[in-house]
Amino acid sequence: MTISTLDSCRQRLWHELLKRLADIARRFPDAALASSLAAEDMVLTHAVCTSQLPLEMFTLDTGRLHSETLGMLDVIRSQYGRTLTVYRPLPQAVEQHVAAHGAFAFYESIELRKACCGIRKVEPLRRALAGRHAWITGQRRSQSQTREHLPEEEHDAAFDLRKFNPLAAWTEDDVWNVVRALGIPYNPLHDQGYPSIGCEPCTRAIRPGEDVRAGRWWWESSASRECGLHAANTKLPPLAVVTRLD
Ligand code: SF4
């Protein structure tokens, strides 16, 4: 299949995305794509690589990811010849947290869950974004109620830089139609009931009819299901406060 097999609406979405990313690269040469290696981020990766945009791409290896997710790094390298920069948590911070609270403390309380996310995700993200003026994410409005007002461009107050969400208006069907039309590689977990993929112990497959993010931190209420990477979605305080959760 090719882009020509898509309906005209989705062809327009794709071409607008390419223009949007090229515009971001022109305005912010140090902008980086933060990839979770999920389908949305693979759409963005495909767009960046096939357009040969000089945008850096990075991911956060929390140390608790599925092997299928980590395997996408090799897929990207072999398919596009590009290597993602991988940021990992500080070993000492992880060791101290696990020693104090256990390896599965995230099930015990929202505070301990956010502390784990703070160590394994937010702090590495802070390093990944240090010195940059913009970052790009694969968030979409229809993914959850915490994202329903997501703008395509915003000021990220938590990290004090521009933040772009070029897929904000895309639907789940838009993503998958483009993935299939362009033959974009994707995490095999998506075919096993995981529309949204995070850390292995904090993600489950969803049941028919459930919200696409229902499998993320499923033991919590839907209003708290963000990890601190996108603080504006949950009105979380700035990073300086987030990191004090530990
Ligand atoms: S998603 Fe779960 S394992 Fe991953 S950083 Fe957050 S609490 Fe820790």
DSSP 191-235: GGT-SS--BGGGB-PPPTTS-TTTTBSTTS-GGG---STTGGGGT
Instruction: Identify the burial level of 204 via C-beta atoms within 10 angstroms of its C-beta, where 0-12 means exposed, 13-18 middle and 19 or more buried.
Output: middle
Q: Is the CB of 117 under 6 A from ligand 1?
A: yes
pLDDT of residue 138: 97
Q: Which of 104-113, 136-145, 208-217 has the highest mean pLDDT?
A: 104-113
- In the residue annotation, 227 being an active-site residue is answered as yes
Instruction: Identify the burial level of 196 via C-beta atoms within 10 angstroms of its C-beta, where 0-12 means exposed, 13-18 middle and 19 or more buried.
Output: buried
Mean pLDDT of 93-101: 98
- The CA-based angle 13-17-20, given to 5 degrees, is 135
Q: Is the CB of 198 under 6 A from ligand 1?
A: yes
Q: What kind of architecture, by CATH, is found in domain 3-245?
A: 3-Layer(aba) Sandwich (3.40)
Q: Is the CB of 201 under 6 A from ligand 1?
A: yes
Mean pLDDT for the chain?
91
CA-closest residue to ligand 1 atom 3: 199
Going by pLDDT thresholds of 50, 70 and 90, the confidence category of residue 1 is: low
Going by pLDDT thresholds of 50, 70 and 90, the confidence category of residue 237 is: very low
32/104 Cα distance (integer angstroms): 31
pLDDT tens digits, 177-188: 999 999 999 999
Distance 14 CA to ligand 1 centre (A): 32
pLDDT of residue 144: 76
pLDDT of residue 235: 47
pLDDT tens digits, 118-150: 999 999 999 999 999 999 999 999 887 778 899
pLDDT tens digits, 5-52: 999 999 999 999 999 999 999 999 999 999 999 999 999 999 999 999
Locate the domains of the chain by residue range: 3-245
Mean pLDDT of 192-212: 91
Distance 143 CA to ligand 1 centre (A): 19
pLDDT at residue 242 is higher than 80: no
Judge contact between 189 and 18, C-beta under 8 A.
Answer: no
Q: Is the CB of 62 under 6 A from ligand 1?
A: yes
Of the CA atoms within 13 Å of residue 58, those in its CB half-sphere come to 22
Name the phi and psi angles at 90, rounded to 5.
-70, 120
Sheet containing strand 32-34, strands side by side: 85-87, 56-60, 32-34, 134-136, 161-164, 153-156
pLDDT of residue 209: 86
pLDDT of residue 224: 62
Return the SS3 of 153: strand
204/52 Cα distance (integer angstroms): 35
119/239 Cα distance (integer angstroms): 11
Going by pLDDT thresholds of 50, 70 and 90, the confidence category of residue 241 is: very low
Judge contact between 213 and 242, C-beta under 8 A.
Answer: no
pLDDT of residue 234: 57
Query: pTM of the prediction?
Result: 0.90
Distance 50 CA to ligand 1 centre (A): 32
Judge contact between 116 and 108, C-beta under 8 A.
Answer: no
Task: For ligand 1, pick from 106, 119, 218 the residue to mutate: most ligand atoms within 8 Å of CB.
Answer: 106
pLDDT of residue 246: 21
Distance 116 CA to ligand 1 centre (A): 6
DSSP-derived pairing of the beta strands 32-34 and 56-60? parallel
pLDDT at residue 114 is higher than 80: yes
